Amino acid sequence: MTCSVDNNNSTLSLEYILKNPASDLFKEFANYLQQSYCIENLEFWIATQEYKKCTNDTLLASRCEKMINAYIRPNSPHEINIPCDMRQTILELYHQGIFHPHIFGDAAEAVLELMRINSFVPWVMLNRREDKMSGMKHSSSSSSLTERWNLVKLKQISRKSWSSSSSSFDYSSDDRFTFSVSSYSNNSVYKSMLKRIKKSLSGHQRQ
């Protein structure tokens, strides 16, 4: 599902925003999530992508415990809204000592769709209304969402192909979240958010 933001048969997708954390669109969307009190969805999703990259069993177990205590347990500090049976399955696997890199796969998918329906679509619609009002007032003080998206597309023209990008989505495999976040490591937006995630996770002990 994507949400159209212009009239040139192009669409702005949530996936595009998530894999371009250095962009203004990502910053604005993250700010919208913060203001609407659901930033934990984005933080959890990013944390799951980092978790999947871990190959050290000891570190994997430690990270799993922290994520369980921060996002999964009922009444946890940053509890995410996922189905009860999904939450229970994750907790059962955790208590069995199973820390597979994809233990949070279903939860990540559920949170992604939750962000899409409850946050991304309303955010795009809000921007479109503001763009329309701005156009009626002939205001040129700031660029509209459509104009920023068009600028993004112009920048893409100079690229040879998406395959040369360090970030990529692959929805053709069984694992719908085969996602590389290597491009995140060198930008301040991601570092700031990851730092906040790590800070929120620190200190949580297994209950």
- The per-residue pLDDT string of the chain (207 residues; one tens digit each, 9 = 90 and over) reads 334 344 343 578 999 999 999 999 999 999 999 999 999 999 999 999 999 999 999 999 999 999 999 999 999 999 999 999 999 999 999 999 999 999 999 999 999 999 999 999 999 999 888 767 766 655 444 566 666 665 555 444 434 333 333 333 333 333 333 333 333 444 555 566 666 665 655 555 444
Give the per-residue pLDDT at 137: 59
Q: What is the pTM of this model?
A: 0.65
Give the per-residue pLDDT at 158: 36
**Own/partner pairs for 109-113, CB < 8 Å, 24+ apart?**
109/176, 109/177, 110/82, 110/83, 110/86, 111/41, 111/44, 111/45, 111/80, 111/81, 111/82, 112/14, 112/45, 112/177
Give the per-residue pLDDT at 111: 97
